[in-house]
Chain A
């Protein structure tokens, strides 16, 4: 088992950018989307995106592991 690759770490940072560091830009009520305040809607959206990022990072790690075995 090796350290996580830089690529998968970079993918893991994406949710942090979307949900954490960018808070001043999305923390507002309008425009309301689907009846929800914008900040609530934004976080819901990013929960789904985060799940997608993890799926992507998982594929990166799995591919790397297969390559490692082939060598």
Chain B
């Protein structure tokens, strides 16, 4: 139990020290003054992707659903592939036109306040359940790893306070530094569980999977223990998630922290390899199916397995890694959501002449408010929030056509993007809330994305042409007529 505290304390000290002694304007605080090189970029991106969902959810899917869990490995890798073709361009436009958030991009590219507000509003809305899930996950991890000595609410309150404080004082740079510790611990925990457990109980990977193949013959392939998650579901979900990977406000915004566009390109070469650590977490979930069968909540499988296998002090290390795994993404989300709120929602609506400094101060105050809100939601966590998270994932992906076409297709218009996005969001909401996901075996969000693309292109073609304020080439837009 004290080990968990020790790890969290070290993490916080690292975070506070990183931000100390720097002058904090909005650009330094929210995107670290566009200064991150390859190593930091990699850490930051790994930090925001490997959340408690990767830790608990991936093993949980392997445990309760089986084969379909493999989609996680595929979509993360392909999400990085997609990033190679998008992020360097977003970065370049960001540097040239001073963009700091996702909404800035929509605002400047389409010269549309409505579109920018739409993107910020839904961005913040979708990201709050994401934050709440992190806190709930953290509560579970700390509770199990401390053998129920630390109650869930206390650990969540403690964590949210620490996160809010180091975001408030340290900004993005602090978060990246804490990420260093988190990644080391998480790889250690993943290797320990994924390698030691099969060796200890089965004598190796091969006997583990032979046992599984004999006792659960269909579990290891799709649709596994589910009825609807077959190959069509796999393809559509992987495509949707790979496109949506960098459409979250915080993942999109991370592109601006890079020192150059080339860093982002090279980053796409190394990041897929980090996905390999997930393999061990999946293996742990499969092993748990035999070692600790019959859990009602699959998300507990990794922790219950560790609790049964390891001595208390090592469970503390896993608990600490898990806690940081929740805290780092929470910090990034808090930071992005507050910047979005202050810069792209509050300023245009209520106080258009607000200075950058005052926006920065408002953003930092918003951190504390959002932290409180998500803590409140985590206390009363319910199934509707899980539904909202799924909605969010399919929802943010509806920004994808606006981003990609905005970068590469000069003919796209603001009315095209707005109507496409609204059609996409409506489709997602209708199908998900009426429990029609997957829709005839295909991911509902993917169907919405296809519709969205079609509407965006069609409406753009029938509305009058607009000039592109953010052309990629330096010498202005030469050939705008792309017929």
Which residues of A come within 8 Å of B, CB atoms? 1-4, 8-9, 12, 15-16, 19-21, 23-24, 27-30, 32, 34-37, 39-40, 43-44, 46-48, 50-51, 53-55, 57-58, 61-62
Contact = CB atoms under 8 A, between A and B. Distances in A.
B73 interface: yes
A40 B269 contact: no
A32 B67 contact: no
A30 B217 CA distance: 11
Interface stretch (B79-87, B325-333, B357-365, B390-398): B79-87
A1 B470 CA distance: 12
Contact of A1 (B89, B205, B239): B89
A24 to B, nearest CB: 5
A43 B81 contact: no
Secondary structure at the B interface, as helix, strand, loop or mixed, is helix
A29 B269 CA distance: 29
Contacts of A29: 209, 213, 220-221
A9 B220 CA distance: 33
A15 B261 contact: no
B235 A23 contact: yes
Given A29-B221, A40-B279, A19 B473 contact: no
B85 A35 contact: no
Contact of B84 (A24, A27, A57): A57
Nearest to B407: A3
B81 A53 contact: yes
Chain A CB count within 10 A is highest, among B67, B77, B82, for B77
B239 A20 contact: yes
Given A20-B238, A61-B265, A9 B74 contact: no
Contact of A51 (B78, B222, B270): B270
Given A35-B204, A51-B272, A58-B265, A23 B231 contact: yes
B472 interface: yes
A27 B67 contact: yes
Contact of B74 (A12, A32, A43, A57): A43
B213 A37 contact: yes
B437 interface: no
Contacts of B239: 20
B77 A40 contact: no
A16 B210 CA distance: 29
Contacts of B408: 3
B209 A19 contact: no
Contacts of B480: none
Contacts of B473: 1-2
Interface footprint category on B: 35 or more
Given A12-B81, A15-B81, A23-B231, 13 more contacts: A1-B88, A15-B78, A23-B222, A27-B234, A34-B206, A37-B213, A37-B220, A39-B220, A39-B221, A43-B73, A44-B276, A47-B73, A54-B272
A23 B74 CA distance: 10
Given A2-B472, A19-B74, A35-B205, A28 B92 contact: no
Interface string B233-246: 01100110010000
Contacts of B222: 23, 27
A16 B242 CA distance: 10
B4 interface: no
Contact of B70 (A34, A40, A50): A40
Given A29-B220, A32-B209, A44 B269 contact: no
B25 interface: no
Contacts of A61: 265
A17 B207 CA distance: 31
Chain B CB count within 10 A is highest, among A21, A34, A54, for A54
B221 A16 contact: no
Contacts of A12: 81-82, 84-85
B427 to A, nearest CB: 22
12 contacts: A23-B231, A23-B234, A23-B235, A28-B221, A34-B206, A35-B207, A39-B67, A39-B220, A43-B73, A47-B276, A50-B77, A50-B81
B402 to A, nearest CB: 17
